[in-house]
Structure 1
Amino acid sequence: MFTNADINFEALKKKAYNGRWATLEDGIIPLTAADPDFRMSTEIEQGIIDYIKDGYLSYGPFSGLPEFKNSVAKHFNTEKNGNYTPENVLAVNSAAQGMFLIAKYVLNPGDEAIIFDPVDFLFKKTVDAVGGSLKLCPVDAKTGDINFEILESLITSKTKLISICNPHNPVGRVYSKEILIKISEIAAAHDLWVMSDEIWSDIIYDNIEFHTYSSVSEAAKNKSFTVFGFSKSFGIAGLRIGAVLCNDQEILEDFTEKSQFNSTIEGVSTLSQIAASVAIEKAKPWFADFLAHLQSNRDLAYKTLNKSGILTPNLPQSTFVIFPKIENGFSSEDFAKRCLEVGKVSVVPGSERWFGKGAEGHIRICFSTSAEILTEGLERIIKSF
């Protein structure tokens, strides 16, 4: 189901943008943007077809279709130790939009937000977009370990938000319940909001248990937002569908109002919500096979890079990216440039632009492709030096 023969390369070359097949010249292997090379499940495809058969694509409820909200709440409660009702869920146009809306809701110009370093560039971008001020909390670029002394030392009277990425991109760390409780205690002691980006929380290896942030303590439940999306787990990035979850119904209603989701100014495509709901309700068997394939690819990437002599890999507990350390003296940008020019493989450099200053000396490699493509790409990278 997830071999080279299952990949429609012609379709990818027409549709796979964001630094992938449609943006690169023939012969280059993209191991870049975190997006699967495989088609979505047939259950999702059929769900979309069934929904449009009667010929109607009318406005839906502004906060989201009932079936979408039910599916997301159920998914978090059964898979992520959550305690949500459907009313605690707001449909948004992608997890990325959810992050922007939360930053806008929580921060005024000049307010401070603490984010991890390294971490996905969207965390910085969302704070910058609303005029907030960034404080960077370093995490170990191999393990994702958080220095809590530094975290607490960054808090000032202007601090309003701690944003966490769990599971962590690009390191792939799944933060335990104990670590999340510690974050919630720090946040509560200083009356801070917490935003937890959990878009990767379906893709977890080795049967590690995942706890959605709001579930770990009463303090976490009282003053937090959770962001979720479907692009990683089910390959429907182009549908731009995500969710914001909040256990405090009054806060979520205020958030919904101030985010313009109580009118036709905002609101999310009903077709996208149906696709996401079908993914949760009917595509779990497909996803189980996909997850098994990804874990096999993770192990393949780790073993190959570990004996390369030029890259020392981490072993991600989650995500389908690996974040090895460069060992041959090249900067992240120069290493990625040589991979592209000599090896004809595109990877993401661990530069400040993408992940923050703490990412320098690393590259990020996406492995949500076939074992054949991954093997060829890794071999090309190693032979480029």
Structure 2
Amino acid sequence: MLAQRTTMLKGSGTAAARAAAKEAAAAGIQVVDLTAGEIWTDLAPTIRDGAIAAIDKGINRYTDTIGIQELREALARKVTEETGQACGAGEIAVTTGAKQALFNIAMVLLNPGDEVIIPTPYWTTFPAQVQIAGGVPVHVDTRANGFVPRIEDVAAAVTPRSRAIVVNTPNNPTGTVYHAALLRALGELAIEHDLWIIFDECYGDFIHTDIGHHSIVSTIPEVRSRTVIVNAFSKTLALTGWRIGYLAGPEPLVSAVKALQSHTTSNPNVIAQHAALHHLETTEGTFEAGLQRQLAAARNMGLQVLSGLSRIPTPAAMGGFYFYLDIRNLVAPDPCNLVIGDRDVDTLVRELIAKAGVAAVPGTAFGDPFGIRLSYGVPSDVLQDGLVRLVEFLNAWSYGASPRAENEERVLS
């Protein structure tokens, strides 16, 4: 018999979508994979040089559990610059990616039965980690407000068992960017009800709107003592496979994280740590700027193609590198279109990959039965091909008919 907690766990919806893409490719379908939350690009020279230098020096020993002192100091300077609030190395923990940072936070903050407010759609791991820690996810639907949480809805979700609010901006999967006034209101709510704020800003370097990215700590400094900032190099430097992230929070929390991490992974990969440190010490922002230009160009091209969708609104794609499609008109009951009314987003995504050769992540992975997430971090020619196929398929599907047989033959040939 397995532990009871395993009954609460389901595999990551995004990982399942990637696996489906690989299975389809293995079956002979020419697949355009738009599922992965990563950017296709060369390695940053500063990262490469830092890693090679560390290897050449024979660096291969344990470090401090939560990262080498020099890296924590460099990250503290980074957080200080970004928030306008002085941060020291004692408030930083380096982790094996942002996912471990979030897991650590859940484990050191939550008691059994504690509730965590999570706006929906959400990154699939948020509620899973809350449940692993014995907590209870409380979801607040944002669809009616363009995927931006309304403060009155968040306030209505607060109960005596509430312990924390997850604030993820730019949001994965929707790409929504929270404006400063909302962040301040969320901070005031947290103060009023004595809640922690888990502030995930892993996509903060990729902003495509005049709203800009704001740290909640800079917007309302009074919440600093109850806020944990989570970030990583995975998105900013396209280092998903290197597994290097960090959190910034009050020293007592960081001390608890250190004790926990000493019994799980111990220190993050030492070569990745030195590579990140070298980057922070030597970068002039050239690589980051190039990555931002790459994504901006992909976004503009993608939005132009997606504007050809007949019954689906063009996504705002305010931040990050995802297009999030609202397909309610295709799968919700519609008296004028009964044929497609009994289908769901999972069915649509399965047909999309089988008949159009395009792999996407269904919104059900994010707690939303009416969404599809598409990554535009892939090469531009791959993205254009995939989105053209998707538009053709969805326009046909939206009228209750399957895509033309010759289209299916083209994909399978």
TM range (shorter): 0.7 to 0.9
Deviation per residue, 1:17-52 (Å, 9 max, x gap) = 954986643621110021112232222112111111
**More divergent stretch after superposition (21-30 vs 191-200):** 21-30
Asked if 1:129 is matched to 2:124, the reply is no
CA contact 1:80–1:210 (8 Å) conserved in 2: no
Q: Which 5+ residue runs of structure 2 have no aligned equivalent?
A: 1-16, 332-342, 397-413
Deviation at 1:82, TM superposition (A): 4.9
**Out of 346, 349, 368, which is 1:333 matched to?**
346
Q: Residue 373 of structure 1 corresponds to which residue in structure 2?
A: 382
Alpha carbon RMSD of aligned pairs, Å? Answer: 2.2
Count of aligned pairs between the two proteins: 362
CA contact 2:66–2:258 (8 Å) conserved in 1: yes
Deviation at 1:342, TM superposition (A): 1.0
| Equivalent-residue separation in structure 2 for 1:345 and 1:172 (angstroms) | 20
Matches within 5 A, 1:1-385: 18-19=18-19, 24-25=25-26, 27-140=30-143, 143-206=146-209, 208-246=211-249, 248-257=250-259, 259-261=260-262, 266-283=266-283, 284-326=285-327, 327-329=329-331, 331-351=344-364, 354-356=365-367, 359-384=368-393, 385=396
| Equivalent-residue separation in structure 1 for 2:295 and 2:208 (angstroms) | 9
CA contact 2:50–2:277 (8 Å) conserved in 1: no
| Equivalent-residue separation in structure 2 for 1:303 and 1:192 (angstroms) | 42
| Equivalent-residue separation in structure 2 for 1:222 and 1:290 (angstroms) | 33
| Equivalent-residue separation in structure 2 for 1:323 and 1:264 (angstroms) | 35
Taking structure 1 as reference, are residues 78 and 179 closer, same or farther at Cα in structure 2, changes over 3 Å only?
same
Deviation per residue, 1:235-281 (Å, 9 max, x gap) = 211121110101x2233223423x244x7962211111122233444
Deviation at 1:65, TM superposition (A): 1.3
**More divergent stretch after superposition (336-345 vs 199-208):** 199-208
| Equivalent-residue separation in structure 1 for 2:381 and 2:39 (angstroms) | 14
Deviation per residue, 1:157-207 (Å, 9 max, x gap) = 111111111211111122122211111111111111111111111122246
| Equivalent-residue separation in structure 1 for 2:269 and 2:381 (angstroms) | 36
Structure 1 or 2: more helix by fraction: 2
> Is the partner of 2:137 in helix, strand or coil?
strand
Q: Which 5+ residue runs of structure 1 have no aligned equivalent?
A: 1-16
Taking structure 1 as reference, are residues 310 and 239 closer, same or farther at Cα in structure 2, changes over 3 Å only?
same
Larger CA Rg, structure 1 vs 2: 2
Taking structure 1 as reference, are residues 210 and 265 closer, same or farther at Cα in structure 2, changes over 3 Å only?
closer
| Equivalent-residue separation in structure 1 for 2:145 and 2:155 (angstroms) | 22
CA contact 2:361–2:374 (8 Å) conserved in 1: yes
Taking structure 1 as reference, are residues 191 and 75 closer, same or farther at Cα in structure 2, changes over 3 Å only?
same
| Equivalent-residue separation in structure 2 for 1:377 and 1:298 (angstroms) | 13
CA contact 1:82–1:212 (8 Å) conserved in 2: no
Q: TM-score, normalised by structure 1?
A: 0.87
Deviation per residue, 1:306-332 (Å, 9 max, x gap) = 222143222222110110122434522
**More divergent stretch after superposition (22-31 vs 39-48):** 22-31
| Equivalent-residue separation in structure 2 for 1:21 and 1:342 (angstroms) | 13
Taking structure 1 as reference, are residues 277 and 140 closer, same or farther at Cα in structure 2, changes over 3 Å only?
farther
| Equivalent-residue separation in structure 1 for 2:20 and 2:78 (angstroms) | 30
